[in-house]
Chain A
Amino acid sequence: MIAELGIAELGIAELGHFALILAMFVAAAQVILPLVGAARNYEPWMAFGRPAAVAQFLLLAFAFGSLTYSFVVSDFSLAVVYQNSHTDKPLLYKITGVWANHEGSMLLWILILSMFGAAVAFFGANLPPTLRARVLGIQSLIAIGFYLFIIFTSNPFDRIVPPPANGAGMNPLLQDMGLALHPPMLYLGYVGFSIAFSFAIAALLEGRVDAAWGRWVRPWTLAAWAFLTGGIALGSWWAYYELGWGGWWFWDPVENASFMPWLAGTALLHSATMVEKRDTMKGWTIFLAIVTFSLSLLGTFLVRSGVLTSVHAFATDPARGVFILILLIVVTGGSLVLFAMRGPAMRNTGVFQPVSREGALLVNNLIMTTAAAAVLLGTLYPLFLDALDGGKVSVGPPYFNTVFIPLMLPMIAAMAVGPMLGWKRADLGAAMKRLWLAFILTIVTAIAVWAVASDGPVLAMVGMAMAVWLGVSILVELTERIRLFREPFASSLNRLVRTPRASWGMTLGHLGLAIAVAGMAGAGGWKQEAIQTMAPGDSVEVGGYTFTFEGATEGRGPNYYLTQGAFAVTREGEPVVTLYPENRRYPVRSMPTTEAAIHTMFTGDLYAVIGDPEGTDGAYVTRIYWNPLVVWMWAGSVIMAAAAGVSLSDRRFRVGVPRRRKAPAPAAAVKA
């Protein structure tokens, strides 16, 4: 039984509830005063935006903190605590339980939204006052939609009378470190795109977009993109080790919901570069900013409304769906109408030939948006068909793989060439000539792969070859840039050191993708699996490794019972490692979980899962996988996210502080 909670413990939640409602009123004032002030050019009203944004963030931080406190002290008079927690749960998972449910995660969502608003207020001293006022007003307008949504359909501070004695527990699949960090990362990404969105709307209201605007939008987009990249990678990693099927991407609607903003955000990142450096593609960039954040909202709608079913959807509720749909229509529909009215007036001054750095970035944009549209179509197709009474279908990996992979191959091919091209006008032939080494190594890789794994899928070979093509061409570009072997080494080294961090960001980001592509090709193409019943002493050979089952033992953990199996792995008689997969049963919730045992090596992962007992002689159902190169995928993702961080640290556009210089930078930035 639990200790009785006193009035003070119970009252904390009441204060949190009050802070949440108060924050909504602050938000309302933050919409009206700055926006009206900006329209009438009335300085004091515009200035209200900054303190209001900070106040909103502090109030929400208090509300979130008080909900966390209620989880920690197990205040089961709160419905959300009762439904998702239990006194037996480890403290860490009591805390992560705050956002492992619909209500708490929405509170986290809006907390992050207000945090970004406060960040604009804090770093935005140099912004033109009207632009800053409008950005903060729009940011707060989005927030109001979410405040209403939380308070009226998903209030985390709702009480149960009388309070139950103990909680219903948390889905054991969610009691995991990887998944605990996954939502905050993902939301930092999703919600981070709201800044680009607010800047886009503010620019439409202002009627102007210039290089300074691009310099502002790009770092925020880059930061959001880095978090989203990390969040997606973390989610995929979680699915890989926790679901126990050796897979890492399932094209599930929930995964697609995070992947679509990533694709659109990647396009936005590249088109914002063109606005910043070349004063072109302004209307398109604004459109992408709207689309990227809208896809984040759409993801929320799909996951929480119940219009699509998914293996890991939140508890869904059509009433919530109606609310988010209205929000989506107001935010996306409203901004697209504004875009249709004001967008045509955007003037681009930078002109360019099709073969140029701009042209290459445009190819990136076209392919990325096409890919996002293809994923959107596949994700929504079951909904379209159901709405037309065409019956229930589900669109699976075959569709997505068929559509997505052919789109990515030309993009990777172009990615190698793009950075070699100069702005405005470039010589494609000369760029290709400089890539002779990459071309030869690509062919050599293809032949080598064919020789070693001629029975594998062709796609894996093509993927490996493309990864080499991209990786080598990036290194070629880097050596060209620092004029290695053409100038004395010291001079090259000096150039290397003086390379701007933004350039390093691009080089590392593209290199990260090359490594990730190699991982995906290997893990997707050459994965091997064996599912069988094994008695102690039985062996099975997978991927050239021999797995010998040494039996299983029963035991118990802090809040679960477990079966632990032991597999001795050898390769050509030499012992490699012993794997101990577990099968856990949580008494509070009925769901069992599998804890796969994974041994990660440079060349691939050894992956073992123990299932249910079979018969009485100590035999168990076991699943053994060989996942080649899978760690490259996570490593590549981490490098991509880190590359964005490197780029962000560049002096030229450190978050928020674009120095006002007397001599404007564009001329210097144009040099290729």
Chain B
Amino acid sequence: MPLDQTRQPPPKRLLFLLPVAVFGVLAVYFAVGLTKDSRRLESVLINTPAADFQLPAIKGRANPDREWGLETADFKGEVTLLNVFGSWCIACQVEHPFLMQLKQTSDVPIHAIDWREEDLDAGPNWLKHYGDPYALVGDDPVSKAAIAFGVTGAPETFIVDKQGVIRYRHIGPMNAEVWDDTIYPLVQELRKQ
């Protein structure tokens, strides 16, 4: 059948243009959507205060002046980071040298949850071996505190503001790029509030 476009009435042509127009609108929305970071609000707990919890200190880190190793009150008064790790977690080993470096170079306190250890000695031994970059470490074998923060895996790092409100969650190993681009700027911003 030969092409014959001259005899088509105009309204039909417009109908055939409709899909292009609809798709054009969709494409603009997609382009705008890409500029938004949907992951920032991924956790439902972001922008809510961490629920109350008390964790005992891990072995060898008990402090007679403190009843608990890590508790909700420790996250109030200044902007802090919470790092979730476990001796069983290979990606935590990848992240660890950077945390050791942060301990030397940065002024942000990093608290930690030693998560889901099968053995009470495993976490402390791991820190002895790789170095201990943390201010306070709570032992959480049964995910008590992990629930309060909405932890889904390890390693994860949370930013908690002066009022104890969870402001950001980074999933996976932290590195210089994440620190410089996201975490430290947000910490600075939160400190001004």
The interface of chain A, by Cβ under 8 A from chain B, is: 86, 164, 166-169, 207-208, 210, 283, 287, 291, 294, 301, 305-309, 316, 318, 321-322, 325, 328-329, 332-333, 336-337, 339-340, 342-345, 347, 380, 383-384, 386-387, 392, 561, 585, 587-591, 612
Shortest Cβ gap from B74 to chain A (Å): 23
Closest residue of chain B to A319 (Cβ to Cβ) is B34
A347 touches B1 (CB 8 A): yes
**Which 5 A-B pairs rank lowest in CB-CB distance, beginning with the nearest?**
A387-B32, A307-B33, A587-B88, A340-B16, A207-B3
B24 touches A340 (CB 8 A): no
Q: How far is the CA of A342 from the CA of B91 in the complex (A)?
A: 55
In the complex, 23 of the A-B residue pairs with CB atoms within 8 angstroms, ordered by the A residue number, are: A168-B90, A169-B90, A207-B1, A210-B1, A294-B23, A306-B39, A307-B30, A318-B37, A322-B34, A329-B27, A333-B27, A339-B16, A339-B20, A340-B13, A344-B5, A345-B5, A345-B8, A380-B26, A383-B30, A386-B33, A387-B29, A392-B41, A590-B116
B39 touches A333 (CB 8 A): no
Contacting residues, chain B, for A322 (C-beta < 8 A): 34
Supplied contacts A336-B23, A392-B41, 17 more A-B pairs, CB within 8 Å: A164-B94, A168-B90, A207-B1, A287-B19, A328-B30, A333-B23, A336-B19, A339-B19, A343-B16, A344-B5, A561-B118, A587-B88, A588-B88, A590-B86, A590-B89, A591-B152, A591-B153
Contacting residues, chain A, for B1 (C-beta < 8 A): 207-208, 210, 347
B12 touches A383 (CB 8 A): no
Q: How far is the CA of A40 from the CA of B34 in the complex (A)?
A: 41
Q: How far is the CA of A455 from the CA of B94 in the complex (A)?
A: 57
B77 interface residue per 8 A CB criterion: no
Given contacts A344-B12, A387-B33, contact A316 B17 (CB under 8 A): no
Closest residue of chain A to B32 (Cβ to Cβ) is A387
Contacting residues, chain A, for B17 (C-beta < 8 A): 340
B19 touches A340 (CB 8 A): yes
The interface of chain B, by Cβ under 8 A from chain A, is: 1-5, 8, 12-13, 16-17, 19-20, 23-24, 26-27, 29-34, 36-39, 41-42, 86, 88-91, 94, 115-116, 118, 142, 152-154
B115 touches A590 (CB 8 A): yes
Contacting residues, chain A, for B31 (C-beta < 8 A): 325
Given contacts A307-B34, A340-B17, A590-B153, contact A207 B29 (CB under 8 A): no
Closest residue of chain A to B38 (Cβ to Cβ) is A309
Q: How far is the CA of A380 from the CA of B5 in the complex (A)?
A: 36
A332 touches B23 (CB 8 A): yes
Shortest Cβ gap from A261 to chain B (Å): 16
A383 touches B115 (CB 8 A): no
Q: How far is the CA of A612 from the CA of B31 in the complex (A)?
A: 44
Contacting residues, chain B, for A169 (C-beta < 8 A): 90
Question: Most chain-A Cβ atoms within 10 A of its Cβ — which of B33, B36, B39, B154?
Answer: B33
Given contacts A169-B90, A208-B1, A342-B3, contact A305 B34 (CB under 8 A): yes
Contacting residues, chain B, for A384 (C-beta < 8 A): 29
Contacting residues, chain B, for A166 (C-beta < 8 A): 90
Contacting residues, chain A, for B88 (C-beta < 8 A): 587-588, 590
A308 touches B19 (CB 8 A): no
Q: How far is the CA of A503 from the CA of B32 in the complex (A)?
A: 48
Shortest Cβ gap from A338 to chain B (Å): 10
Given contacts A325-B27, A347-B1, contact A386 B94 (CB under 8 A): no
Contacting residues, chain A, for B38 (C-beta < 8 A): 306-309, 386, 392
A325 touches B34 (CB 8 A): yes
